[in-house]
Amino acid sequence: MVDIRKRYKSIFILAALETVKESWVRDQQRYFTSCVKKKEHCHRTAKRTAFGLFGCGIAITALVLASSLTGLFNEHLAHSLHHRT
């Protein structure tokens, strides 16, 4: 009789552990799936921001270069206008 109780108890414990393991794995899978989605969203946002800032930097550099070149080419014009008065 004692042997049957021990077997039943061990089978019950194994079944309970299996149930706990399955639910734990399921919960971990849900948790990590949601974390991955959040991290992917943050990564996409950071990538877009970096690309936008890089584009702004290129545009500002082009404007500064264009204004510098315009100033060099129009220096003679500005000098002649200044000395007319």
Rounded to whole angstroms, how far apart are CA atoms 32 and 51? 28
| Residue-level pLDDT at 64 | 87
**Entry pTM:** 0.52
pLDDT of residue 39: 95
Q: How many domains does the chain have?
A: 1
pLDDT digits over 12-57, tens only? 888 888 888 899 889 999 999 999 999 999 999 999 999 999 999 9
Q: Which domain holds residue 67?
A: 2-84
Query: Sign of torsion, CA 78 82 84 85?
Result: positive
Q: Is the pLDDT of residue 78 over 90?
A: no
